[in-house]
Amino acid sequence: MPADTLLTYAGKRYLWLGTGAAVALLVSYYVYARDTVPSGSTLGGLIYGWLGFLAILVLMSLGIRKRWYASRLGTVQGWTSAHVYLGLLTLLIIPMHAGFRFGWDIHTFAYALLVIVVLSGVVGLLIYLTVPQKLTAYESGMLPDKAEAEINRVLDEMKQLVGEKSAVLQRLYEEEIRHCQEIRPQGWRLLFKGVDPAAILSAKALDLSMILPKIPETEQESFSQFCSLILRKTELESLLAGEMRVKNALEAWLYVHVPISFALVVAVAIHLLVVLYY
C-alpha cells in the first residue's frame, strides 16, 4: 500500500473533515444570507470572522509545531495535512465573513494577502507531491556534503598531479582553484535556469581539447590524466548542482508563503483595530 501523502494522511481524515466543514459553512451561509444583509458587523458575520481568525492562528502555529521536536501533540505530518485543508477553508470563510463584498481597502487587501499565501501553499503542495521522487534519484548516488568532499579530494589529486609540471598545467590548476573559490551565490539562478550535466560536460571537454595543442610533448600523459580529473570534478559539480536545485525547489515557495503570512497577520491586526475603533 503506498505511503500516505500530505493529502491522504490517516485515511484522508482531514479531507473528509475539510469537506464536511465546507458543506456546513455553505449551508449556514445560505440560511444567514437569506434573512439578513450579510456583512462583517452582523452576528453571523462576526462568527465567521472569529472562525477565520482562529483558523489563521492555528495555521500559523504549524511553524511552531514543526520546530517543537519534543511535542507529542499529533504528528507533524498530521499537522501539515490539517494545515493544507484548513488553509483552503479560509478562502471560503473570509468572504463569508465579508458577505462576499470587496473593495479597494485595507480589509480586502488582507484577504488578497491570504489568497497569495494559500496559492503559494498550493504551489508548494504540488511541488511536495511531484519533486521528492526526483531527489531520491540523486540521493541514491551521493548526498551534497559527500559530493562536496569528493570534489575536494579530486582537487587534491589534481594538485599532486601538477606539482612539478610545466607552467601551462600549473596555470590550469590555478584556474580551477580560483573558479572554486570565487564561486558566487547562484541558488536562485540555478532554480530558474536549470542544469544540463551532459551539455556542461561536453562543453568542458571541448575547452580542454582546444588547450591540447599548447601542451608540451612530455606532459601529454599527465595532461590526459589531468583532463579526466577535471571532467570528473565537472561531473560531480553538475550532479551537485542538480541535486541542490531540486532541494531548492522544495524550499523556494516558502520564501513567499512565510513572509506574506506574517504580512497577513499584520494586515489582520490593522483590520481588527480599524473595525473595533470605529
Partner 1 sequence: MEQKNNRVAAYQLKTRYLTKTTITIVAVILVLGVAILAYALGKHRVFMPGSISTKHRLFAEQCSRCHTPWKPVMTVVANEMCLNCHSVSFHFKNRTVGPAPQCATCHVEHKDKSILAVMSDSACIQCHADLKVKDSPLRFEGKVLSFTTHHPEFAVAVLLPGQKTPERVRLSDKERLVDTASIRLNHKLHLQVNLGGPNGPEQLSCASCHQPDPRGAYMRPVNYEKDCMRCHLLDFDERLRGKTVPHGQQLEEVAYFFRATYAEFYLREHEAERRDRRPAKGLFGARYSIEELSQDKVHKMVAKAEQKCALCHVLERVPDSSGADRSAVVKTAIPERWLPHSVFNHLAHTTVTCVGCHEAAPTSEVSRDVLLPRMDSCRMCHVEPGGARAECVDCHVYHDKTHARQPGDQPYSIEEFKSGQASPTSIIPPIPVTP
Binding site for partner 1 (CB under 8 A): 35, 37, 39-43, 46, 98-99, 101, 103-107, 113, 144-145, 148, 151-153, 155-156, 177, 180-181, 183-188, 190-191, 237, 240-241, 244-245, 247-248, 251-252, 254-255, 258-260, 262-263, 266-267, 270, 274-278
CB 159 within 8 A of CB 173: yes
Kindly state the smallest distance separating residue 157's Cβ from partner 1, in Å.
10
Kindly state the smallest distance separating residue 100's Cβ from partner 1, in Å.
11
Nearer to partner 1, 10 or 250 (CB): 250
Nearer to partner 1, 18 or 99 (CB): 99
Task: Write the CA distances from 262 to 80, 218, 266, integer angstroms.
Answer: 18, 65, 6
Report, in this order, helix, strand and coil percent for the chain, each rounded to 5: 80, 0, 20
Please enumerate in sequence order all residues whose Cβ is within 8 A of that of 277, keeping only pairs 6 or more positions apart, or say none.
Answer: none
Kindly state the smallest distance separating residue 43's Cβ from partner 1, in Å.
7
Nearer to partner 1, 145 or 164 (CB): 145
Nearer to partner 1, 83 or 107 (CB): 107
269, with CB counted inside 10 A (0-12, 13-18, 19+), is exposed
CB 66 within 8 A of CB 35: no
Kindly state the smallest distance separating residue 67's Cβ from partner 1, in Å.
13
Kindly state the smallest distance separating residue 132's Cβ from partner 1, in Å.
17
Cell of 138: 540523486
Task: Write the CA distances from 111 to 79, 100, 140, 169, integer angstroms.
Answer: 23, 11, 43, 62
Nearer to partner 1, 2 or 185 (CB): 185
Please choose, from the candidates 275, 272, 261, the residue with its C-alpha nearest in 3D space to the C-alpha of residue 83.
Answer: 261
